[in-house]
Amino acid sequence: MPNNPVLAVHGGAWALPDDMVEAHIRGVRNAISAGWGVLGRGGTALDAVEAAVVIMEDDDTFDAGRGSFLNRDGKVQLDALIMDGATLRAGGVGCVERLRNPVRTARKILTESPHVYFVGEGAERFAAEHGMELCRNEDLVVPREIEHLRRHQADAAPPGSELFSAELNHDTVGAVALDRHGNIAAATSTGGTLNKAPGRLGDSSLIGCGCYADNQTAAVSTTGWGEPIMKLVLAKWTADRVAAGNLPEWAAKEAMNYLEQRLKGQGGIIVLNAQGQFGIAHNTPRMAWALKTMTKEDSGAKVENR
């Protein structure tokens, strides 16, 4: 008997200002539309999360793809991971500078490489060898972020200090999906943190940290302050709570409690199991998110914990 598909996406968790809410909600709704189009045609969860994340990578509202935060040297460096819950196969890229859609290269790694992870120039070479067009780093930079970096550096804040504040953007994007075949998948993509040291890698592209999927437990994508999420291997921790018999809704909320209580971390999370049960939670003032099932569609960037 076919499963009823489910798709959830997030577009970052932080103190999203009122004047940015509409753009974020529009962005996550567009991502839901793209991913749901795949699921509605009987496509796979893996295809759906890729399609949803590509939309957000192409939308400079978010910290993924074009429009991402600039590192200390004024460059965009991107990370992404995609994971298949049916097979536990995964593909990831880190610190890439010439890929418009890092999640597409991550998918190509999952499908066509015996490896899981490529970084920097090696990831870009893999992409080019597999027919993917490279861009200039300048093509990923938008004037807003040049000014954003200039103001931040002018404040003489120590490198990395912005990580401690929900007042500064954490617009990492991600998606989790369940398809008609009963398989789940997850994907996460990010430009990292503002003024990060060149070569810094966050949680988003690391299996079990910012992204995880296993049909036997859950598909998970996180957003927020990467260093604490990495230290807690939070996506896998959350999936393990589901494996222990807890509902994704409870596991999502408990993950945010754990993140805050253990390391004073800030962020958000979406969780989905193979039965179509889901959870959305954050411990920041707002999180941009959207959800669609056969009977329900919702989205928001609300001042509340879900």
Among 26, 30, 27, 35, which Cα is nearest to 5's? 35
Instruction: For residue 78, count CB atoms less than 10 angstroms from its CB and return exposed for 0-12, middle for 13-18, buried for 19 or more.
Output: buried
Which is the catalytic residue, given 44, 61, 172, 222? 172
b/e burial code for range 140-178 (CB count within 10 A of at least 16 → b):
bbeeebeebbeebeeeeeeeeebbeebebbbbbbbbbbb
Q: How far, in Å, CA of 283 to CA of 138, rounded?
A: 34
End-to-end CA distance of the chain: give it in Å, rounded: 31
What is the chain's length? 306
172 an active-site residue? yes
Instruction: Read off the tokens for 253.
Output: 């909320």
| Catalytic sites, residue numbers | 172
